[in-house]
Amino acid sequence: MARPGGHPLVAGTGDVMAVLTSTIAWFLDPAHWTGVDGVPSRTGEHVILSVLAVVIASAIALPAGLVVGHADRGERIATAVAGIGRAVPSYALLILFVPFFGLGFSSALPALVLLAIPPILVNTVTGIRDVDADTVEAGRGMGMTGREVLMDVEVPAALPVIIVGLRTSAVQVVATTTLAALVAGGGLGRYIVDGFARQQDDRIVAGAFLVAVLAIVTERFFTWIQRQLEGRPGTLRLDVPIAPSPFGGRVAD
């Protein structure tokens, strides 16, 4: 049904300035900063769901990655599992989960966890496996047990790569959490989905902008953590290429 007036994005007239002006007005409207549908509330929901997804994924993928990397076997299986996880679209999973888990976060969370696992798993395995063989051998020569080699030699050396995995995963999750809104979930995706449904371009653009800001903040946060760790004595400084990130193939600095 057509609505008289706006919707340049959907109508395709492409009046960018009009959209930008109305989006700025949207942000300046105090009504958009209070209540359940306000920016603080929606951002909070978005952060909670994203953090939960990454934490649960880490609880699964970190131990699995450490074991596989340390044993230096089963890597193919881990990579295959990660590959399947990457190949299946989160949107499809989300809709498939609704009959089992119900509306909202209960379906969105498992879908996001499955999205979050592959980068953490792959980077943990690769990080541990690629630790300099001589260093590991030196540890063994000093009489360290396998567990000590893993926790005191391999993990510190692999940490930059593991953190990059977490970073990639977290940024993907923050961007994808928007999908929760399609199944009556909250989060910043609410603005995008509702904006399309109500033909309100300002709402769509505001939502997209907030998600982008949150994704950049997440990326910066993990980069900061990485810097803190690199500054610490006892941590190996490795110039390792990182997993592909949505912000281009940066190199750990």
Partner 1 sequence: MRHIRTAVLGAAILALIVSACSLGGGSQASRGTIASQLSLAGPPECPERPFCLKGLTATYGITFKEFKPTDAGGPITIEALKRGDAQVGLLFTSDPAIAVNGFVLLRDDKQLQLADNLVPVVRQAAIDANPVITDALNGVMAKIDQATLTDLNKQVTVDGSAAADVAKAWLDAQGFTFSGGSGTVKVGSTNFYEQEILGEIYAQVLEQAGLTVERKFQLGSREIVFPALESGDIDILAEYAATALEFVNKGAGEASTDPVATVAKLNERLVGMGGLVALDPAAATDQNGFVVTRETADKFGLVSISDLAKPAP
- In the complex with partner 1, the residue whose CB is nearer, 41 or 79, is 41
Binding residue (CB under 8 A) for partner 1 from 113, 136, 159, 211? 159
What is the smallest separation between the CB atom of 47 and partner 1, expressed in angstroms?
8
Q: Give the position of tokens 């209070």.
A: 34
* Alpha-carbon torsion angle 88, 89, 95, 99, nearest 10: 20
Question: What is the distance between the alpha carbons of residues 76 and 134, in angstroms, rounded to a whole number?
Answer: 24
Binding residue (CB under 8 A) for partner 1 from 103, 142, 212, 217? 103
- In the complex with partner 1, the residue whose CB is nearer, 74 or 156, is 156
Can residue 148 be called a binding residue for partner 1 (CB under 8 A)?
no
- In the complex with partner 1, the residue whose CB is nearer, 95 or 208, is 95
Question: What is the distance between the alpha carbons of residues 158 and 220, in angstroms, rounded to a whole number?
Answer: 20
- In the complex with partner 1, the residue whose CB is nearer, 182 or 240, is 182
- In the complex with partner 1, the residue whose CB is nearer, 73 or 237, is 237
Can residue 1 be called a binding residue for partner 1 (CB under 8 A)?
yes
Q: What is the largest CA-CA distance in the chain?
A: 78
Query: Is the separation of the CB atoms in 195 and 130 below 8 Å?
Result: no
Question: Which SS3 state, helix, strand or coil, does residue 191 take?
Answer: helix
**Total residues found in the chain within this entry:** 253
Find, among 57, 49, 58, 77, the residue nearest to 190 by Cα: 49
Instruction: Pick the piece of the chain touching partner 1 (CB under 8 A) from 25-33, 123-131, 134-142, 183-191.
Output: 183-191
Query: Is the separation of the CB atoms in 227 and 86 below 8 Å?
Result: no
What is the smallest separation between the CB atom of 98 and partner 1, expressed in angstroms?
5
Can residue 179 be called a binding residue for partner 1 (CB under 8 A)?
no
> Cβ atoms within 10 A of the Cβ of 38, count?
14
Q: Which residues bind partner 1 (CB under 8 A)?
A: 1-4, 11, 44-45, 47-48, 51-52, 55, 58, 95, 98-99, 102-104, 155-156, 159, 163, 181-184, 190, 193-194, 196-198, 225, 228-229
